[in-house]
């Protein structure tokens, strides 16, 4: 067996953070070396296992990202944009790869990852599941094959605690559709309809967001024309698909050159 990859999980108390801890614990290729939470969080200073209501792990939750990264190979980060930028800078300084599942990042915030990506590996994706990334490729191909007679609508549904909309995955799908059509998403995106909006503009890519209950993640790409509709769909029924994808990205990242990658690179689909 090769060397086990040492991983730090940030935002460890969150749903994805705890799922990542469980996924890493079950892996024979990786082990948890650090756990990070925001300053003032109740878990800081506690053994991670105890905080999660399980057996002690020997890993103490810290709010010091630089300390947590000591001796690590990869940081996996599903937090918030400001926190992610701070982790990226600390990971670059420590020479640690950084896997980012954080969504809701603006273009300016993503640009701030350019400096760290010049020093270390950054793998960032709005969704890390294999199925979603295949859906992205399908969306691009179908959009390229159909003209503007087919209206494109992206409908996404998530749990009632999600704070950003459209979801990162919906935006990935929108970008894929726009790329397939040879347009810039920002120029054709329609994200708000309320009141007397008038008829739909030809060539627009529309978004609709649903929030409710404990929905993990559902995404539909609808191509609608007179007389027919085509729907591409992905449903996540278990959050572990994202954690497994993030771990796959972490293991892939450890021997790559510095740069800003995505899950299509990890899955070998970037040239498709």
Domain range annotation of the chain? 5-124+239-266, 130-236
The string of pLDDT tens digits covering residues 246-261 is 999 999 999 999 999 9
Mean of pLDDT values over 104-120: 96
The string of pLDDT tens digits covering residues 41-66 is 999 999 999 999 999 999 999 999 99
Q: pLDDT at residue 162 above 80?
A: yes
Q: What letter does residue 200 receive in the DSSP assignment? A: P
In whole angstroms, what is the distance from residue 62 CA to residue 75 CA? Answer: 14
Q: pLDDT at residue 2 above 90?
A: no
Q: Give the pLDDT score at 132.
A: 93
Q: Give the pLDDT score at 3.
A: 87
- The CA distances from residue 167 to 155, 171, 196, 197, in Å, are 10, 6, 25, 23
Q: pLDDT at residue 193 above 70?
A: yes
Q: What is the pTM of this model?
A: 0.82
The string of pLDDT tens digits covering residues 4-20 is 999 999 999 999 999 99
For residue 49, give both structure tokens.
């296992």
Contact 252, 264 (CB under 8 A): no
Mean of pLDDT values over 152-178: 95
Element (H, E) at 111: helix 107-111
Q: Right CATH number for 5-124+239-266 from 3.20.20.140, 2.60.40.420, 3.40.50.720, 3.30.1330.20? A: 3.40.50.720
The CA-based diameter of the chain, rounded to the nearest angstrom, is: 63
Q: pLDDT at residue 192 above 90?
A: no
Mean of pLDDT values over 193-213: 95
**What CATH code is assigned to 130-236?**
3.30.360.10
Q: pLDDT at residue 85 above 70?
A: yes
Percent of the chain with pLDDT over 90: 90
The string of pLDDT tens digits covering residues 213-241 is 999 999 999 999 999 999 999 999 998 99
List, by residue number, the catalytic residues. 158, 162
Q: Give the pLDDT score at 242.
A: 92
Coil, strand, or helix at residue 194?
Answer: coil
Percent of the chain with pLDDT over 70: 99
Contact 45, 114 (CB under 8 A): no
- The CA distances from residue 78 to 35, 155, 220, in Å, are 12, 23, 23
The string of pLDDT tens digits covering residues 117-159 is 999 999 999 889 989 999 999 999 999 999 999 999 999 999 9
């Amino acid at each position: 067996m090769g060397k086990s990859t040492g991983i730090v999980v940030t935002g460890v108390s969150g749903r994805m953070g705890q799922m990542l801890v469980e996924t890493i614990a079950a892996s024979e290729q990786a082990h948890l070396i650090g756990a990070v939470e925001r300053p003032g969080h109740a878990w800081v200073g506690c053994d991670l296992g105890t905080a999660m209501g399980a057996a002690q792990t020997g890993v103490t939750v810290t709010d010091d990202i630089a300390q947590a990264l000591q001796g690590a190979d990869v940081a996996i980060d599903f937090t918030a944009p400001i926190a992610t930028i701070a982790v990226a800078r600390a990971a670059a300084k420590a020479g640690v790869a950084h896997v980012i599942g954080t969504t809701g990042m603006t273009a300016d915030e993503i640009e701030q990852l350019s400096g760290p990506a010049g020093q270390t590996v950054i793998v960032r994706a709005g969704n890390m599941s294999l199925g979603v990334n295949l859906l992205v490729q399908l969306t691009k191909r179908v959009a390229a094959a159909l003209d503007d007679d087919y209206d494109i609508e992206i409908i996404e549904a998530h749990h009632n605690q999600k704070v950003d909309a459209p979801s990162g995955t919906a935006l990935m799908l929108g970008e894929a559709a726009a790329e397939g059509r040879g347009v810039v998403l920002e120029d054709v995106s329609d994200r708000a309809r309320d009141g007397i909006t008038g008829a739909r503009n030809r060539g627009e890519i529309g978004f609709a967001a649903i929030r409710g209950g404990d929905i993990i993640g559902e995404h539909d790409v609808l191509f609608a024309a007179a007389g027919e509709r085509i729907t591409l769909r992905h449903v996540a029924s278990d959050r572990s698909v994202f954690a497994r994808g993030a771990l796959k990205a972490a293991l892939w990242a450890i021997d790559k050159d510095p740069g800003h990658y995505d899950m299509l690179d990890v899955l070998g689909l970037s040239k498709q």
